[in-house]
Amino acid sequence: MIKISQPCVGEEEIASIRLAFETKYLGLGSKVKEFEKALQDFLNPENPPYVACVSTGTSALHLACQAIDLKDGDEVLVPTITYLASFHAITATGATPIAVDVQPDTGCICPADTLKRLSSKTKAIMPVHYGSHLGPIKEIYAIAKKHNLRVIEDAAHSFGGTVDGKKVGDEGDIICFSFDGVKNITCAEGGAVVTRDPNVFQRVSDLRLLGVFKDSEQRYAGKRSYDFDCVEQGWRYHMSNVNAAIGLAQLKKIDTFAKIRQNHFKLYTKTLNKHIGSPLPLDIENTIPHPYIFNLTNPGSLDPETMRSKRNLLMEKLLERGIESGLHYKPNHLVSFFKTHNTEPLPVAEDLWSRMITFPLHCNLTEEDIIRVAQNANELYEEIFIKEK
């Protein structure tokens, strides 16, 4: 079976975990501090941003939302095509996620639709680096500046990428990474909030430890706060020394991971027949592609329902041939929990939803695996979409 995604971990991670065990402290401690420093050096050794490591990418987004004081009645503009995590992070603060349509080629938030959905309640925009593409990020910052909004970048897919010579996360308002099991680097589970705003950094650092003021600093020094005060709702969202140890070993391998993922991306794009669809238009030399998201061509004027059922058949037939595939992602405005505030159709996203398919991409795959996936997809597309037309 060719798995859609998989962690790429080995002896180096085990050796690093052993070192974490030797500290005799498994919670937020010296290894987390070391990982935060390693991330700062990776992002910009000369002028590092603040980095606070947390338990997941979802908790990173949630804490970022809380750190900018989102609350009941506030609205956040967020592309409808994203993982549920982006939407849940917003609702967790009481604020409302307003689903925004996406660009047809990148699948990222559409600036024109963003402007259309601005209201007096809008407090922030949460662009998502969909399939490792940053989309119209500069336009989004321009809109935010003009309307005095905060920006929380959901950068779960784009760790390690570079834009205009700067690492993703080095620049921007608040950038949230995920290091879950299948991301560009993994901590098993983990995430990070990156910012140059000292207030956001301090809030996130405290909120991840139940809101105890400066408890992170105590723990890094091997101490704990006992006679504490706490002034707001906090969470147990900190990263553990064990997860940080895995991340430290992974970060050392990032150049190797980048090459493998980039080569696989290029090989897919070369091997998949042009007429069957198109991948996201990534600047591949400066991107570490996380999923391989591909948008199938609608070969005639298939209605979305038929297109979707044929695409699903393609996925089933791939599975019969030992190849997993996936969908990234079902638009959130179609999900029951988020429908109430998002009743308008979002046509671009709904069209992409009927045509998207994600092919396997991870560092344990060989070139032969990629060619096998692509050739099977080519063959099945002809069978399902062309011959059966």
**Interacting residues toward ligand PLP by CB under 6 A:** 56-58, 82-83, 85-86, 128, 154, 156-157, 178, 180, 191
Cis peptide before 329 (omega within 30 of 0): yes
Shorter beta-carbon distance to ligand PLP: residue 84 or 371: 84
Shorter beta-carbon distance to ligand PLP: residue 324 or 382: 324
Supply the minimum distance, in Å, between the C-beta of residue 382 and ligand PLP: 31
Residues 6+ apart with CB under 8 A from 158: 129, 132, 133, 134, 168, 184, 287, 288, 290
Residues 6+ apart with CB under 8 A from 249: 9, 12, 13, 15, 16
Shorter beta-carbon distance to ligand PLP: residue 7 or 276: 7
Shorter beta-carbon distance to ligand PLP: residue 338 or 381: 338
| Alpha-carbon distance values, 12 to 77, 250, 281, 282 (Å) | 41, 8, 34, 30
Q: How far is residue 325's CA from residue 315's CA, in Å, rounded to a whole number?
A: 6
Contact 373, 314 (CB under 8 A): no
Shorter beta-carbon distance to ligand PLP: residue 108 or 346: 108
Supply the minimum distance, in Å, between the C-beta of residue 101 and ligand PLP: 17
For residue 323, give the DSSP letter.
Answer: B
Supply the minimum distance, in Å, between the C-beta of residue 303 and ligand PLP: 29
Question: Which residues are 99's β-sheet partners?
Answer: 78
Rounded to the nearest 10 degrees, the angle between the axes of helix 304-320 and helix 367-381 is 140
Supply the minimum distance, in Å, between the C-beta of residue 178 and ligand PLP: 3
Supply the minimum distance, in Å, between the C-beta of residue 60 and ligand PLP: 7
Rounded to the nearest 10 degrees, the angle between the axes of helix 241-251 and helix 11-22 is 140
Shorter beta-carbon distance to ligand PLP: residue 185 or 377: 185
Shorter beta-carbon distance to ligand PLP: residue 80 or 298: 80
Radius of gyration of the chain (CA): 21
When CB distances to ligand PLP are compared, the closest residue is: 57
**C-beta atoms surrounding 243 within 10 Å:** 28
Supply the minimum distance, in Å, between the C-beta of residue 194 and ligand PLP: 14
Supply the minimum distance, in Å, between the C-beta of residue 244 and ligand PLP: 14
